[in-house]
């Protein structure tokens, strides 16, 4: 069991209870950089982020071989599983939200490590009740296949990720998760929206370029 203590947390974690407006983002990179292949990674690892969530079913890989989609998340580390890895690896990755943490949204980067286009189903539960589900079709690993699940529901206690495609070349499945956000869309972390002032500056710069081109055209004429 590995404990991950360094994560980005915004909001209030006082009084021992995290409310649904508390944002936490886990990217696994405060752990030692993992090996780059499943063969070297060995048995499944349970990753515990105290007070936030527990991750089961996979192992930490660092700068995973043949996984360019990792650049869309936060290299080097990601948490993944594959049918050709250790026999203890599961075909399902599971995120168990800590009982002390209230999550109404769970979002993350989902990376296809398989050699073919593959389908995935991501489910969110509140206790035994399914509260949200999303399906993805992701390009093959070398095509940077990745998706951004964003599950919504009242008091999410568990999220599961499974492949719906059987790829014989990887003994069934091969996929990763990274940059897991609770109570926020991970798209905001990976593709932040420019601030209004930045947009204004960009517009001003483009106007300046256009003005310069116009003046050149007039001098040429």
pLDDT at 72: 80
Task: Give the per-residue pLDDT at 7.
Answer: 45
* Cis peptide leading into residue 160 (ω within 30°): no
φ, ψ of residue 166 in degrees (nearest 5): -95, 110
Q: Tens digits of per-residue pLDDT, 102-139?
A: 999 999 999 999 999 999 999 999 999 999 999 999 99
Residue ranges for the chain with pLDDT beneath 50: 6-16, 193-221
Instruction: Give the pLDDT score at 73.
Output: 85
Instruction: Give the pLDDT of residue 208.
Output: 42
pLDDT at residue 187, as a whole number: 81
pLDDT at 11: 35
Please classify residue 75 by burial: count the beta carbons closer than 10 Å to its beta carbon, then call 0-12 exposed, 13-18 middle and 19+ buried: middle
Supply the pLDDT for residue 190: 62
pLDDT for the residue numbered 204: 38
**Could you state, in order of their start, the residue ranges of all structural domains in the chain?**
2-190, 194-221
What secondary structure does DSSP assign to 21-45, as a single string? T-EEEE-STTSPPPPSSHHHH-S-E
pLDDT score, position 76 = 96
2-190 carries CATH number 2.60.120:
yes
For tokens 């060995």, name the residue: 42
């Amino acid at each position: 069991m590995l404990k991950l203590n360094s994560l980005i947390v915004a909001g209030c974690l006082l009084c021992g209870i995290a409310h649904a407006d508390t944002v936490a983002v886990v990217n696994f990179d405060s752990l030692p950089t993992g090996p780059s292949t499943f063969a070297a990674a060995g048995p499944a690892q349970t990753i515990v982020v105290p007070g936030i969530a527990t991750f089961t079913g996979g192992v930490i890989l660092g700068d995973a071989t043949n996984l360019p989609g990792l650049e869309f998340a936060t290299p080097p580390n990601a948490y993944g599983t594959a049918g050709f890895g250790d026999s203890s690896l599961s075909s399902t990755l599971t995120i168990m939200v800590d009982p002390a943490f209230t999550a109404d949204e769970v979002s993350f980067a989902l990376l296809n490590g398989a050699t073919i286009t593959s389908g995935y189903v991501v489910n969110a539960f509140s206790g035994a009740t399914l509260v949200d589900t999303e399906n993805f079709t992701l390009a093959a690993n070398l095509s940077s296949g990745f998706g951004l699940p964003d599950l919504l529901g009242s008091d999410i206690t568990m999220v599961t990720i499974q492949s719906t495609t059987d790829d014989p070349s990887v003994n069934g499945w091969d996929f990763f998760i990274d940059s897991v956000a609770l109570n926020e869309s991970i798209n905001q972390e990976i593709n932040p929206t420019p601030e209004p002032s930045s947009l204004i500056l960009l517009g001003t710069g483009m106007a300046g370029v256009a003005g310069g081109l116009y003046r050149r055209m007039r001098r040429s004429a």
